[in-house]
Amino acid sequence: MVKIEILKESEDGMQLLLSGTDRSFANALRRSLISDTPKMAIDSVRFQLGTKEQDQEIWETTGPIPDEMVAQRLAMVPIPTEHDKFHFRDECPNCKDLVEEDRGCLECQMIYTCVVFGTEEGKWVTAGDMKYLGEESLEIPGEYKSIPLTKLLKGQMIEFYATAVMGRGRDHTKWSPVCGVTFIPRRVGVLKNKSKAKILWEMDLGISAKDFDKDGKLIDIDKVTALTRELNHVGEGTEASREFKEAVVLEEVPGEYILEFETDGSMSPRTAFEKASEELANRFGSLDKDLSEAL
């Protein structure tokens, strides 16, 4: 049975240790995080075109870049995703029986509005200028409000309504809530030759002989990561490698992998991992059912 241990967890990232498994399962989790985790993202934008009079001046809905480019940037803005409040449009209890163009309600879409006027020195339009037509908790998170969309000068304005819906990364990258998803075999450092290892210790880089246990092994994951970098100083192509050879080596731990990823801010790392695991479990569950029926 696979065991999962959380090694590190922050607001935007997570590192986990997978034990009792193999490379294919770790990769399945990686792919599920990227492609299967449900996420809200802006899918359509309606730009209001024309002119507007304000402060005895005429403002026109023009800008330095095309509306299509603004829409692309909007698609990548992290939209807060609360899975217990919203459904996929084709699974929404209110809309699933309607034709696709008629779908869309408070339970399967989020609507943001934005109206910004330019200035003489130039006004940046950012994700923070978007206002959610609903609960304040679903506004763009504070740390992402500075994401730039376009810049407007005096006489220029922008006005639009952006609609976010639930989707999956396999359909478009805007629906992928994670980035930098990697997994590597867990490794330990092994001290094989104490005298020759002094070549590395004398460089005073960080890891020393004291970090190894009485069996000559370095198990701490963070220190192994540091050792991996430091071994480059005595690796192939260096003068020290001739004498150092394999005084200290890295060995893989069978059945153990370190999975690491960050989120885009649309949900917490824990939520992203739980949803990815749930999607993966459902997929294997349906596969078991199909196999049993076929056999």
- What does the pLDDT read at residue 285? 67
CATH 3.40.630.10 fits 3-36+179-262, yes or no: no
pTM of the model: 0.86
- What does the pLDDT read at residue 289? 53
Q: What is the mean pLDDT of residues 216-230?
A: 95
At a CB cut-off of 8 Å and minimum separation 6, what does 123 contact? Answer: 116, 117, 151, 152, 153
pLDDT beyond 80 at 290: no
Fold of 39-172: RNA Polymerase Alpha Subunit; Chain A, domain 2 (2.170.120)
| b (16+ CB within 10 A) / e for 159-171 | bbebebbbbbbee
Q: What is the mean pLDDT of residues 78-107?
A: 92
Using a pLDDT cut of 90, give the percent of the chain over it: 81
- What does the pLDDT read at residue 184? 96
> What is the distance between the alpha carbons of residues 149 and 73, in angstroms, rounded to a whole number?
6
Q: What is the mean pLDDT of residues 128-151?
A: 93
**Sequence ranges of the domains in the chain:** 3-36+179-262, 39-172
Q: What is the mean pLDDT of residues 144-149?
A: 95
- What does the pLDDT read at residue 286? 53
What is the CA angle 70-73-75, rounded to 5? Answer: 110
Q: What is the mean pLDDT of the chain?
A: 92
